[in-house]
Amino acid sequence: MSNIVIEQYTYASLVSEAKNRKKHSNCSSDAAREGSYDFTQTESFEESVEFAVNGWDLGLEQYKIQEGILVGGSTEIHASLAGSMPHIQNHIMGFPQQMYQLFDNREYNLPTLDIIVNLAYSAYIKGEDALDFGKSLVAYINKKASTNNIRITGIFCSNQSKKVEAYQMITLKDFDSALVLNNIAFAFHPSFFRRIWFSVLEGKSYWRAGYGSTVEDYKSVALENLQGSKSDEVIAFKTLNDINDFKWDESIIDKVIF
């Protein structure tokens, strides 16, 4: 029986670990740094970190979404230690609150919805096909956010060495927080998987050659370890090793959820 490892992250903490980790002695690969554009859809690891940290503005253009922030009323912006945009003035002044955090200023009497997205897929999946899935997914989330108070959790689940079944669960958006699409969009970009997560995995003692294999039936483990209270509804996306077989548009999404 596999030893199950659960690791909880925020979006920022996963990116920080990817950027700063020391490669484990068990790891013999540098795929996060050496992966090609065709495989990752970014030119370099540094470019992927830039997109992850500063927001993937290009994603809004590629995803054909005009508004970077979806709100039902107005959005309040507060200086914070952590957030989605840099607070330039506070940075220059040396104040600790050097980021902006966004709060959607509207009534949250909407039904709560947990969306769990499996961010991993097999090596043979083409980068451009993975990007097409991301476009469809962001449009789907954008629509759901208009009728639900949503939380988005990304998950990497993989069978690794020494019979380890590893789960990295990343809170991409929490309940009652503003939906900032140019940040969230990059989490569904193939480079978030094939550069950011690969880099994290290269620092783990349980790293396995080939970066492991995907876990097909991950939902029960994910639900058991989903942080916080239960929501009114949960939608979980299947492991998509057949991404290449779809012509992605919004109508297809309902066919690939549990």
Per-residue pLDDT of the chain (258 residues; tens, 9 = 90+): 679 999 999 999 999 999 999 999 999 999 999 999 999 999 999 999 988 887 776 555 555 544 443 333 445 566 666 665 666 666 666 766 667 665 555 555 899 999 999 999 888 888 888 888 888 888 888 889 889 999 999 999 999 976 899 999 999 999 988 787 776 788 989 999 999 999 999 999 999 999 999 888 899 999 999 988 789 999 999 888 777 777 776 677 777 887
Per-residue model confidence (pLDDT) at position 98: 65
Q: If you count them, how many residues does the chain have?
A: 258
pTM score, whole prediction:
0.81
| pLDDT of 87 | 62
pLDDT computed for residue 74 by the predictor = 45
Give residue limits of the domains in the chain.
3-71+107-256, 75-105
> What tokens appear for 139 in the block?
């449009």
CA count, 13 A, side-chain hemisphere, 20: 6
Report yes or no: 83 and 96 within 8 Å, Cβ to Cβ. Answer: no
Q: How far is residue 206's CA from residue 24's CA, in Å, rounded to a whole number? A: 9
What is the per-residue pLDDT for 64? 52
First and final C-alpha spacing in the chain: 24
Instruction: Report the run of H or E that residue 157 belongs to, with start and end.
Output: strand 149-159
Q: Please give the pLDDT value at position 62.
A: 53
What pLDDT, on the 0 to 100 scale, is given for residue 156?
Answer: 96
Can you give the pLDDT at residue 228? 81
State residue 238's pLDDT score: 86
